[in-house]
Structure 1
Amino acid sequence: MEGSTRTRESLRNAAVFHGVKVNEFQAESSSFQKNETITDTMKMLAVYSTERSVFVIRSPLEGVCSALQGVMEKHAARFGIPTPAFLNAGDGQHAHPLGEMVDIYSLLEKSNWNRSEVHLALVGDLAHGRTAHSKVEGLKVFHKVKVDLVAPDIFSYPVEFKDRMVAEGFEVREFKSVEEYLRQPAGYLADKWYFYKPQFAKCGDLGQAKVEELRSQVSFRSEWHKRLPKNACFFQTLPRDKEFPLIPLSLDGTAINGWDTVAANAYFLDVILLGMLFGKIGKGLPTGGSDARERLATAEAVILPRSDVIDLESADLPSFMKAADLTKTDHTRDPKRARAGGPVPITDGLIIDHIGLSSDAKNVWQRLRMVRSVLGWSKYIGSEGVYVSQKKAAGLSKGIMTLPSYNLESLKVMELKILASVAPGCTINFVAGSKVVAKYRLEVPERIYNLPNISCRNGLCVSNPKNKQRDVYPYFERVPFYQSSVLSEGKEAEFLFTCKYCSWPHFYESIFEDASV
């Protein structure tokens, strides 16, 4: 789905080595250029063989392999064929795990398989270099890691990856140019360098003078060779730019040439990797089993079946529900209390309070409409209003909704989870005989999915609506807050939601396309 030379040829020749049938799609002429869905193409190809299919995908869209893995597992089971395997050979600006495997293998080989420590300089376009982003995971095979980031601001390493390196215990330094980096005293320079070709087309409108300046900042010159540490080695993905090589062609015959080794290693690693996926290597070896995400999703499926109704007598509540102690005065509520122009008192039913806390009342009204729409509660007669909170969120506007005569026994746990997703922090009061018999605060759930009007804000994500890929639905997972180059500068929150497919971070509010529904 995206042009490639080294990755395509390495894997194609590795497949030929195994004598398997190879279907090759060229980016310029494949079905993907004809407005056809990726899923349909993969389903079609998978049934052309009774043996396992391995799809190697290089794509401008992010998260393609992750999305297809889930879809194709069901398709394979339906037709009685082995579940296909998917190899990510680069997706958008996200990652390139195949390329990273080659890089790390080459680093280990150059280190004589000593994993105790590594000192690596990443030079060039670190903003768009996919294997540069994957280094956060790959370098963890070494016990002690030093990373020197050498790039001007426009090519700088994204803050989220740099922070993750620091969190992993890596020692990280930054420099604006190769020339500045080489001014370091003896013993402070890395003995292993990895160069990333500048992708000027992704940097906006740059004048020729600026392009030349940036290129000079990330290029190595022949006369600097003597400044390098003993046994220094340079790596770069081939083929190189013949007119503007980051590493002078005159250094090809020197001991620092590690780029030719990377190209050779890629082929042999691909042979081994495909051999494992085809079942020729590794039979009988123990596997790690399902990952934490799969186990958690399975557990949630058990806890939250769609058909289960809420059991007010049960002490085993879903994790997003917190019961309030009705014996405390600050948790009591007189269901007959009414405010001018607002919700009317009810005898039986539901009262949902603290909906859409905001400094802007308009946002609260939008969230009230969203609650009714998403949960299908527009069919119920009831009242709603927006008020200024008097207690913990004093000064903020909040929404209150009443659903009189609502059958409490019909309220499903999944409905409460959806309510928690749309209106996190709200409280739900169960009223019977003019008394509040139970009260719960709904916290932000760990995952948000299966809701209308949610989408990933990354325009390159396979789940983004504009990419029109069927069977791929938005899915977000809650994570602790971290700084990211794609978030509003200076804005913080307690947590973020990352896209399951492309890992793009979102503030809670931004996953909703239109709060007005």
Structure 2
Amino acid sequence: LDEFTFLEKLEGNRDSIHIALIGDLFHGRTVHSKVQGLQIFDKVQVDLVAPKPLSLPGHYIREMEQLGYNVRIFESIEAYLNQNTIADIWYFTRPQLERMGDDILKSADSLRDKITFKREYMEKLPQGTTFYHPLPRHKEHPTIPSFLDTTALNGWEEQSANGKLIRIILLGLVAGKLGSDFKPLSNPPQQRTRSFIEEIPIDENRPVKRYTEGINPVSNGIVIDHICRGDNRRDIRDHTARIINVMELFGKGGEWITASREDKKMMKGIIFRPEREELSPSEINKLSAIAPGATLNIIKKSRVVKKLRLHMPPKVYNLDSISCSNPDCISHPAHCENVPPEFINTSGNTLRCAYCEKEHTFKEIWK
């Protein structure tokens, strides 16, 4: 709907678009959809206008930049208008402050002020500027005040009218009344998802690597190596203890902090569990989420018979020992909503809550 409306303003020209996204960029789903939606244009410049508590989550900004968008960030409309390159398409979203907890509500007036258009700003707008808004506006505190309704800036009424047309087309497609002449690709591309558990071939010609617990060699069991490689000793020790607790690796064995063979200045953690049976697939999946980058070695008769390098899974969920750290998230235990936590791997070992979109390191989601 929105992209269709933008195309109307640009008379169907897809060469470029310069758009300002203003308001509650943190919660606004229509804003989040612009990350993908604006790809219909060859060149995209996006100006994000919002105070920090309402700013667009970082993973969306990174995705925009990866798509080649030119992204700029401003904390208020006033700051945005005090520079020379101003978009002629403004897209407002209603601030959803009620979703952000008591601390944010205390500064609600100040936050609204930074994203509300004022009469004195009119003279600073480029000629031909149009405002859009996914209605309804807030009755008491509209970011687009009613005095703009009868001005040439009003593009939200046409945007709303386009909604009817778009829905007619969508319903026609769903009902099979339209699109019968569409021919899909005969061989659609196959999307491959890289496995997050990588089996490393065992080179039989290499000298046998012996793991020892103290002075005694590990004859049978498991060794988790390369834990938090490169972190400081305290962090390695703390997270190693967390792994033992979450994975219930209690009993016989030990854990060390030692230098990497490749780089003596690089520290890592190791957990030894002699006589521990091989982990189940679900346990290995769980270990991948709590110890990405580690290596799981299966030892039998003093030889490593299987070596698995662990990477962060694309999604972490259905685990009792994880929790979002945002106290205002619906999945937070304090709300007693019985909403199971779920995290999406956005990049590397960064995890985003599927509900409130707060980003965490992989260490931060574990209770």
Give the structure-1-normalised TM-score.
0.57
1:282 aligns with 2:179: yes
One-letter code aligned to 2:136: P
State the distance in 2 between where 1:181 and 1:365 align.
48
Match of 2:307 in 1: 440
Match of 1:198 in 2: 95
State the distance in 2 between where 1:503 and 1:244 align.
26
Pick one of 26, 42, 67 that aligns with 1:143.
42
Pick one of 152, 160, 184 that aligns with 2:59.
160
1:192, distance to aligned residue in structure 2 (A)? 1.2
1:198, distance to aligned residue in structure 2 (A)? 3.0
Match of 1:262 in 2: 159
Unaligned runs of 5+ in 2: none
State the distance in 2 between where 1:257 and 1:389 align.
65
Partner SS, residue 173 of structure 1: strand
Q: Residues 447 and 439 of structure 1: is their aligned pair in 2 closer, same or farther, counting only changes over 3 Å?
A: same
One-letter code aligned to 1:460: I
Partner SS, residue 398 of structure 1: strand
Match of 2:253 in 1: 384
Pick one of 183, 202, 224 that aligns with 2:82.
183
1:233 aligns with 2:103: no
Tell me if structure 2 keeps the 8 A contact 1:127–1:155: yes
1:223, distance to aligned residue in structure 2 (A)? 4.8
Match of 2:240 in 1: 364
Partner SS, residue 128 of structure 2: coil
Q: Residues 463 and 328 of structure 1: is their aligned pair in 2 closer, same or farther, counting only changes over 3 Å?
A: farther
Tell me if structure 2 keeps the 8 A contact 1:456–1:504: no
Q: Residues 356 and 176 of structure 1: is their aligned pair in 2 closer, same or farther, counting only changes over 3 Å?
A: closer
One-letter code aligned to 1:352: V
Tell me if structure 2 keeps the 8 A contact 1:420–1:426: no
State the distance in 2 between where 1:289 and 1:158 align.
38
Match of 1:453 in 2: 320
Pick one of 225, 236, 249 that aligns with 1:354.
225
Q: Residues 124 and 475 of structure 1: is their aligned pair in 2 closer, same or farther, counting only changes over 3 Å?
A: closer
Pick one of 142, 148, 162 that aligns with 1:251.
148
Match of 1:332 in 2: 209
Q: Residues 206 and 288 of structure 1: is their aligned pair in 2 closer, same or farther, counting only changes over 3 Å?
A: same
State the distance in 2 between where 1:464 and 1:275 align.
45
List per-residue Cα deviations over 1:255-280 (Å, max 9, x = no partner). Answer: 22101111111122122222222333
Pick one of 400, 403, 425 that aligns with 2:275.
403
Partner SS, residue 364 of structure 2: helix
Q: Residues 444 and 211 of structure 1: is their aligned pair in 2 closer, same or farther, counting only changes over 3 Å?
A: closer
State the distance in 2 between where 1:478 and 1:211 align.
32
Q: Residues 361 and 240 of structure 1: is their aligned pair in 2 closer, same or farther, counting only changes over 3 Å?
A: closer
Tell me if structure 1 keeps the 8 A contact 2:239–2:363: no
State the distance in 2 between where 1:420 and 1:214 align.
41
Count of residues paired in the alignment: 354
Match of 2:350 in 1: 496
State the distance in 2 between where 1:464 and 1:204 align.
15
State the distance in 1 between where 2:317 and 2:76 align.
47
1:122, distance to aligned residue in structure 2 (A)? 1.9
Tell me if structure 2 keeps the 8 A contact 1:178–1:218: yes
Tell me if structure 1 keeps the 8 A contact 2:260–2:268: no
One-letter code aligned to 2:71: V
State the distance in 2 between where 1:147 and 1:193 align.
10
Tell me if structure 2 keeps the 8 A contact 1:497–1:508: yes
Q: Residues 227 and 419 of structure 1: is their aligned pair in 2 closer, same or farther, counting only changes over 3 Å?
A: closer
Q: Residues 479 and 252 of structure 1: is their aligned pair in 2 closer, same or farther, counting only changes over 3 Å?
A: closer
1:385, distance to aligned residue in structure 2 (A)? 1.3
1:174 aligns with 2:52: no
Identity %: 29
1:414, distance to aligned residue in structure 2 (A)? 6.3
State the distance in 1 between where 2:92 and 2:187 align.
36
Partner SS, residue 18 of structure 2: strand
State the distance in 2 between where 1:146 and 1:450 align.
35
One-letter code aligned to 1:426: T
Q: Residues 296 and 140 of structure 1: is their aligned pair in 2 closer, same or farther, counting only changes over 3 Å?
A: same
1:107 aligns with 2:107: no
Partner SS, residue 108 of structure 1: helix
Tell me if structure 2 keeps the 8 A contact 1:463–1:501: no
Give the structure-2-normalised TM-score.
0.77
Q: Larger helix proportion, structure 1 or 2?
A: 1
